Amino acid sequence: MSKKCQNDDVDRKITIGVCVMEKKVFSAPMGQILERLQAFGEFEIIHFGDKVILEEPVERWPICDCLIAFHSSGYPLEKAEAYAALRKPFLVNELEHQHLLHDRRKVYECLESYGIPVPRYALVNREKPYQELDYFIEEEDFVEVHGQRFWKPFVEKPVHGDDHRIMIYYPSSAGGGMKELFRKVGNRSSEFHPEVRRVRRESSYIYEEFMPTGGTDVKVYTVGPKYAHAEARKSPVVDGVVMRNPDGKEVRYPVLLTPNEKQMAREVCIAFRQGVCGFDLLRCEGRSYVCDVNGWSFVKNSYKYYDDAACVLRKMFLDAKAPHLSTAIPPILPWKVNEPVQPSEGLTRQGSGIIGSFGQAEELRCVIAIVRHGDRTPKQKVKLKVTEEKLLNLMLKYNGGRPRAETKLKSAVQLQDLLDATRILVPHTSEAEYIEHAEKLRQVKAVLEEGGHFSGIYRKVQLKPLKWVKVAKGDTEEERPIEALMILKYGGVLTHAGRKQAEELGRYFRNNMYPGEGTGLLRLHSTYRHDLKIYSSDEGRVQMSAAAFAKGLLDLEGQLTPILVSLVSKDSSMLDGLDNASTNMEEAKARLNELVTSGVKIAQANGSAKKPWMIDGAGIPPNASELLPKLVKLTKKVTEQVRLLAKDEDEKLTETTSYDVIPPYDQAKALGKTNIDVDRIAAGLPCGSEGFLLMYARWRKLERDLYNERKERYDITQIPDVYDSCKYDLLHNAHLKIEGLDELFKVAQLLADGVIPNEYGINPKQKLKIGSKIARRLLGKILIDLRNTREEAINAAELKSECMDSSSTVVDKGFTDCQQKNVIKNEESRRTCHTSEKSMDPEDDEDKEIKYRLDPKYANVRTPERHVRTRLYFTSESHIHSVMNVLRYCNLDGSLQGEASLVCDSALERLLKTKELDYMSHIVLRMFENVEVNLDDPKRYRLEMTFSRGADLSPLEQNNLEASSLHQEHTLPIMGPERLQEIGSYLTLEKMEKMLRPFAMPAEDFPPATIPQGFSGYFRSAGVLERLGDRKCWMVHATNHSFLSVTRDSYV
C-alpha cells in the first residue's frame, strides 16, 4: 500500500449511522453523547431520520461503518435487520435479540440460561381471554401455578413487554387490595385499589414473588460489558408519588454496585447482545435479582456519565473498525462542553439538639428508637365450651380431620364458615341453663359481624378439643371429638387516633431528630445517605403503627397497606411475646397481689427516702386495699348503664334471621380511619365499629373477672384492663355520657399506676431480671446496630483520609481505589475480629442487609461520605418497660457493681412518677461522632438517651389547650422527649456496650447463616444470608484514565 493510501486511511473518519426514531435522537442524553463523540474528530455522525427509516428501501439508506439502532414505538425493526444484513456494519446493539425484549417470558428464559438471578416466577399462558386452566388455582391469599404456590404479596406482569400495567396483590392480613404500576403520568406512577382482590384473567401473565427492597428501585445502565452505572429512585410500590426536582425531572441518585452486581451487568450485556442496555435490579435480603431488561437506555442529567459513555463508545468503535489507531484518551477531553457548576445541597454538622451541642465537630451517625404502638380498641377474649356438631365438624375441616389437634381460624373463608354455623346455633330460648352459653354465642356472632368485614390481623379463633369418644366406622373404630374449647380473640385494633398519633410522631422525628439545614432527613434519605430499617412485632396494631409512622417520617401519601409491605419488616422473635420471663412475672404478680390487697404498708427495707424507686412495690398507692371495693362498685355502675344501652340492640339481633354472606371488609375500617365517624357519633352510637352489645360484653366480662363474690377474691390483673376500657370510652365514647365513668377512671388510674410497672418486677433487681429476659434479643440487636455504625464510621473516616492523600490529578481514581480497598479491608476485619466485637446480626450485617450507597463520583452532593443509620423497632408495652428497666437498673447486676447507672437520679425519679408508658411512648438512642477526636479515643462516639411518655395525658385534662382541642378529635397529644442523662454528661459507646452486654443476646447466638429457600412471605424476617459468593471485582484495564474505572463498590 502506498504512503498516500495509508494517510488517506488514517485521515478517513469512521462513519457512525444513527438509525433511530427522531424523538430518541433529539433526547438530551443522546445529543450530549453524540456531540462528545464528534468532538474527538475521528467520527462522522450520520442521522438517518424518520423519513428515510420509514419510507426508503434499505438499499437507499446511508452506508456506515458502525450502526446505532434500537427499537422504540413505531420503529421497523425487521427493516433495520435487513439493512444490517446487507451492509454488515458494527452494531452497538444487535438487532435480532431486541425481539426478545418484547416478551417477558423470553427475557426471563434468557436471563436464567446465563445464570443471572431472577425472582421466583411461574407462567400462566392463555390462548384466549378468560380461558380456564387446570393448572391455575386462585385462593384468598395465594395463587398456585403448576403446583407452585405464590403467597400474597405477589406480582402479576403481562407477558408482553410493552404492556406496563403491572399489579401487586396484598394479603388480607395486611389489609388486602391491589396496587397498579404504570408508566409515569404527571407525578403518579401507581395507584392503590383497596377493593380489588382477584387477579386478571383476560391474557397471559407472569406471577412472581414480591421482593421487599426497602422502598427503592435500582436501574443499571451498561455501556459495553465493562462499564455499568447505577441509579436509585423511590419505588412506585410505596405511595406512587414521583419525586421531582425543581426542573420537573424525576429525582434519581447514583449508587454503588457490588462486585456481584457488576458481574450481573456484564452478563446481561452479553446475554442480550446489547452494548448499551438498561435493566432493573431488585435488592432483597442481601441478594440482587434482575426483574426487567429494557434495551437501549441512557442516564439523564449526568455530565460525568456522558463523558464516560462517549469514551467507552469511542473505544468500541475504534476496536471494531480501526484497531490500528490508538484508543488512548487525550490528557484533556476535546469537547468544550464543561459540566456546569450546580449548587449542591449540603447539610451542616450535627449538634445533639436536645441535650446541647458538644461542638460543631460532632456529627449524627445513628438513631435507634423503640416505639410502642398507637391508640387501640381494648383487647378482648371470649372462652366457651362447645359441643355442637356443626362447630366440631368445622374444627375437623380445618385441622385435617385430626380429632385431637387444635385449629386456628383467621382467614375470611374460615371466619365466614364459623359465622354461618354460629348464626344457626344462636338459641332463641331463655332457659336459665342456656343463658350464659347463649350470651357468649351471641357475642361470637356479633364479633364476627362487627364492621361488616373480616380481618385476620384483628380476629382469630382457636378450637381446642377437650373430650373424645370412639365410634364404629365399618370394621374399625375412630375417634371423634365431642367437646371443644372455643377461644375468640378480638379487638386491639389501631384506631383513627392511633394512626394519627403515629403519623404525627413520624413527622416530629423527621423535623427534630435529624437537625440540619432545610429539609434535613428527606434530603439525606433521598440521596441514599440515610440507611433506614423499620421492624415490627406480629401484632396488627403494631404493624400499622409502624406503617403510619413511616408515612409521616418520609412524607409519603396514600394508604398504609403498600407502605407496610414495602418498608416494614416483621420480626416476632425480637419484638413479640414474653420469652421465658413468664415464671418471674407470675412471681411478681403474686407479690403484687399481696401488697395491693393486704392493706399492709409497703416496707422500705430495700430503699431509702433518697431513692424511693428502690423499694418493693414502688408507686402502689398506700390506700390500695381501700380503693378496690370502690373500683368494683363503680365498675358495676358503668356496666349496668351499658347493659341498658345494649338491651334494645340485643333484642333486634335476636330477631334477625338474615343469613347474608358478609361482604369483603372495608379496608379503611380494617386499618383504622384517619377521621372520626361523625354519622355514628351523631346517631348516638359507640365510636368505631363496636356496637352496644360488644361494649356491654366488654364491661360485663370486666365486672365478672375483677371480683369473685362467691370466693370474695379480687383479681388485680384485671385492673389494667378496667383502666384501659375507662380511658378508651372517655376518649372515644364521651358523647354517650356514661355516669360515673370519670370517677371510675380516677380510681382505676391510681391503682393501674401502681400495678402496671410492678407487673414487670416488684423491685429494681426483679425488674432487671424480667426486662433482660423479655428484651434480650432486642438489646442484642441494638448493640449490633451501634457496633456496625461505629465500624462504618471508622471505615468512612479512613477512606476520606486516604483519598485526601491521593494526587489531585487522579482524584476520581483515588477515591474509587480507596473504596475498593475499603471493601476488602472491611470484609477481612469482619472475618478476623474477636467474637464479642464482630458484627453477626441476622438483620443488619452485610450478609443480608439491603444497602443503597451514594456513588460520590457521580453525585451532585456536597458531603457524599456522610451517612446516618436509623433503626426503628415498633413493639408493645412489655418491651418498652423491659428496655427501660434494663437501661435504668443495669448497674445493679453483680458483674457491674460500682458502676453508675446509665440513667441519672433525676431521671430515675421522673420515671417513678411517670408510671405509665402510654401509646406511642418511645426510647431514643442517638449516636454522635466527634470527627476532631482520634479514631481510637473512647470519646469519639457519644450516646444520647431520651424517652417520651407517649400520649400520657388524662382524657379528663381541662387545663391543656392542645389536649382539649385534640380531645374533640378523640385523640391525645404525645409528650415531648425527656433526658435520661444529666446536662453535659458524656456517655461513650464503650460504656454503653459494657453496661448492656450482660443482658443482651450475644452476637454469636443469633441464627447461623443459611441459604434462603425462597422468600417465605411479606416482610418476614429470616436467618442470615450467605455472604455474596463471588467478590471478584472486574475493572476496565484498557487505559490508565480514571474515568474509565468502573469499580464502584459499597464501602460498608
Q: DSSP class of residue 713?
A: E
Higher pLDDT, 11 or 89: 89
In the predicted structure, residue 491 carries a pLDDT above the cut 50: yes
Comparing C-alpha atoms, which of 167, 255, 182 is closest to residue 216?
255
pLDDT category at 614 given cuts 50, 70, 90 is confident
Lowest mean pLDDT, pick from 30-44, 186-200, 837-851:
837-851
For residue 473, what pLDDT is reported? 80
Q: Which of 920, 906, 908 is nearest to 884 (CA)?
A: 908
User: Which whole number is the average pLDDT over 566-588?
Assistant: 87
Percent of the chain with pLDDT over 70: 80
Q: Is the dihedral of CA 733, 734, 740, 743 positive or negative?
A: positive
- The answer to whether the CB of 631 falls within 8 A of the CB of 751 is yes
What pLDDT, on a 0 to 100 scale, did the predictor assign at position 276?
Answer: 97
Q: Which of 107, 61, 52, 110 is nearest to 85 (CA)?
A: 61
Side chain identity at residue 772, one-letter code? S
851 has pLDDT over 80: no
Of residues 899 and 9, the one with the higher pLDDT is: 899
What's the predicted TM-score (pTM) here? 0.83
Q: What is the distance between the alpha carbons of residues 579 and 1039, in angstroms, rounded to a whole number?
A: 60
Find the mean pLDDT for residues 904-931: 91
Q: How far apart are CA 1019 and CA 178, in angstroms?
A: 17
Phi and psi at 169, nearest 5°, equal -105, 130
Kindly state the cell numbers that stand for 984: 453535659
Distance CA(491)–CA(724), nearest Å, equals 12
* CB 370 within 8 Å of CB 922: yes
Q: Residue by residue, what is the 3-state secondary structure of 114-169? A: CCCCCCCEEEECCCCCCCCCCCEEECCCEEEECCEEEECCEEEEECECCCCCEEEE
SS3 of residue 506 by DSSP: helix
Closest CA to 115 of 264, 295, 280: 264
| pLDDT on residue 828 | 38
Give the phi and the psi of residue 626 in degrees, each rounded to 5: -80, -25
Helix (H), strand (E) at residue 870: strand 868-875
Composition of the chain by helix, strand, coil, percent to 5: 40, 20, 40
- For residue 353, which phi and psi values (nearest 5 degrees)? 80, -65
Q: In what helix (H) or strand (E) does residue 530 lie, and over which residues does it extend?
A: strand 530-536
Find where cell 455504625 sits: 789
Determine the average pLDDT of the residues in 265-275.
Answer: 97
Those residues with Cβ within 8 angstroms of residue 409's Cβ, 6 or more apart along the chain or in another chain = 394, 398, 415, 417, 418, 460, 461, 462, 463
Question: In terms of DSSP H, where are the helices of 599-711?
Answer: 624-655, 667-671, 678-682, 692-706
Instruction: Give the strand order in the sheet containing 148-151.
Output: 136-138, 142-145, 148-151
Please report the pLDDT score of residue 467 as a whole number: 93
For residue 993, the model assigns a pLDDT of 94
Decide which of 428 and 1000 is more confident: 1000
Asked if residue 156 has pLDDT above 80, the reply is yes
Q: How far apart (Å, rounded) are the C-alpha atoms in residues 451 and 468?
A: 36
User: What pLDDT shows up at residue 863?
Assistant: 67
In DSSP terms, 185 is beta-bridged to 188
On whether the CB atoms of residues 242 and 61 are closer than 8 A, the answer is: no
944 sits in which H/E element: strand 941-948
pLDDT 10s digits, 731-742: 999 999 999 999
Q: End-to-end CA distance of the chain, in Å?
A: 58
**Number of helical H runs and strand E runs in the chain:** 30, 34
How confident is residue 1030, by pLDDT bands cut at 50, 70 and 90? very low
Are 961 and 733 a contacting pair, CB within 8 Å? no
Q: What angle do CA 533, 539, 541 make, to 5 degrees?
A: 85
Give the C-alpha separation, 688 to 666, whole Å: 13
| Average pLDDT rounded to a whole number, residues 615-629 | 91
- Closest-CA residue to 955 (of 968, 943, 946): 968
Residue 1046 has pLDDT above 60, yes or no: no
pLDDT range class, residue 1022, cuts 50, 70, 90:
very low
What pLDDT digit, counting tens, does each position of 318-358 carry? 999 998 887 787 777 887 545 454 444 333 333 333 333 44
- Give the model's pLDDT for residue 860: 67
Asked if the model's pLDDT at residue 460 lies above 90, the reply is: no
Q: According to the per-residue pLDDT averaged within each range, which of 6-15, 207-216, 410-419, 1032-1041 is highest?
A: 207-216
Report yes or no: 703 and 236 within 8 Å, Cβ to Cβ. no
Q: Report the 3 state secondary structure along 544-557.
A: HHHHHHHHHHCCCC
Query: What is the phi/psi pair of residue 675, to 5°?
Result: -130, 165
User: Among candidates 551, 545, 573, 575, which has minimal Cα distance to 563?
Assistant: 551
Question: Smallest Cα–Cα separation from 420: which of 444, 398, 455?
Answer: 444
CB atoms inside a 10 Å sphere around CB 1022: 19
User: Which of 270, 273, 261 lies closest to 220 in space, CA to CA?
Assistant: 261
577 phi and psi angles, rounded to 5 deg: 75, 170
Indicate the SS3 state at residue 225.
coil
Q: Is 924 helix (H, G, I), strand (E, B) or coil?
A: strand
Mean pLDDT along residues 906-927: 91
What average pLDDT does this structure show over 918-928?
95
Beta-strand pair 66-69/90-91: parallel
For 646-692, how does the pLDDT look when each residue is reduced to its tens digit (9 = 90+)?
887 655 544 444 434 444 334 344 454 567 778 888 888 898 878 89
Q: Cell numbers at residue 127, please?
A: 390462548
**What is the reported pLDDT for 615?**
86
Computed over every residue of the chain, the mean pLDDT equals 82
Residue 270 and residue 111 in contact, taking contact as beta carbons nearer than 8 Å = no
Distance of alpha carbon 228 from alpha carbon 312, whole angstroms: 11
pLDDT (average), residues 24-37: 93
Q: What is the pLDDT of residues 757-808, one digit of tens each?
A: 999 999 999 999 999 999 999 999 999 999 999 998 888 888 777 766 643 3
Distance CA 808, CA 810 (A): 5
Instruction: Assign 112 to helix, strand or coil.
Output: helix
Does the pLDDT at position 112 exceed 80? yes
Residue 483 has pLDDT above 90, yes or no: yes
Q: 184-195 burial string, b = 16+ CB within 10 Å, else e?
A: eeeeebbebebe
| Mean pLDDT, rounded, for 913-921 | 89
Tell me the one-letter amino acid at 844.
D
Using CA atoms, how far residue 399 sits from 414, 467, 993, in Å, is 12, 16, 47
Given a cut of 80, whether residue 537 has pLDDT beyond it is yes
Extended strands (E) in 424-475: 460-473
Angle made by CA atoms 855, 860, 861, in degrees to the nearest 5: 80
User: For residues 681, 686, 688 and 694, what is the CA-based torsion angle, rounded to 10 degrees?
Assistant: -160
